Structure formats: structure tokens, C-alpha cells
Amino acid sequence: MTTDITDLRRLHPGWLIRPASADTLLMATRLDRRHLSADELGRGLAMTLIEETPEALADALDAQSKIEPPTC
């Protein structure tokens, strides 16, 4: 399955997804948080993800959603 930035933005609205580094990388930054706690960082959550392909970024975003704490 081919993924593009438009798909990623639609599937992950809590992230700002954009090209970075002269369009050779893709970056996703959380929009719904200002910081992560030490515990959250220790569990593997990230404020920013940087990947080389849309598919790799999709995998990283999916991984983040699996370890995201439940919202009330």
C-alpha cells in the first residue's frame, strides 16, 4: 500500500506532518501536547518523528498510537 502525506494527515490528525530537510525527509510533530513526561518518554512516546519515506513515517505513527495512554 502506498501512503502519501495527505493520507497520513487524515489518519493522524493529532500530528503536524510535513516535509523536512529539503524534501528528503518527513517530519511529524505532536499537535495535542506541549510536552511528554519522563515516564511517557521512557515508554517510547516521542514529540517528533523523522523518517525517510511516507511508509516508514506511517509505521512510526502507528507504533506511537499503540503505546499512547488512553484518553478520558
**Where in the chain are the domains?**
5-67
Q: Which residue has the higher pLDDT, 23 or 10?
A: 10
φ, ψ (nearest 5 deg) of residue 12: -130, 70
Q: Where are the alpha helices (DSSP H) in 22-72?
A: 38-43, 54-67
Among candidate residues 38, 43, 52, 45, the one with its CA nearest the CA of residue 15? 45
Q: What pLDDT does residue 1 have?
A: 54
Residues 6+ apart with CB under 8 A from 68: 45
For the segment 3-9, the average pLDDT, to the nearest whole number, is 90
The average confidence (pLDDT) of the chain is 90
In the chain, the percentage of residues whose pLDDT exceeds 70 is: 94
Q: What pLDDT does residue 46 have?
A: 97
Please, what is the end-to-end C-alpha distance for the chain in angstroms? 33
For the segment 3-8, the average pLDDT, to the nearest whole number, is 90
Q: Check: pTM over 0.85? Answer yes or no.
A: yes
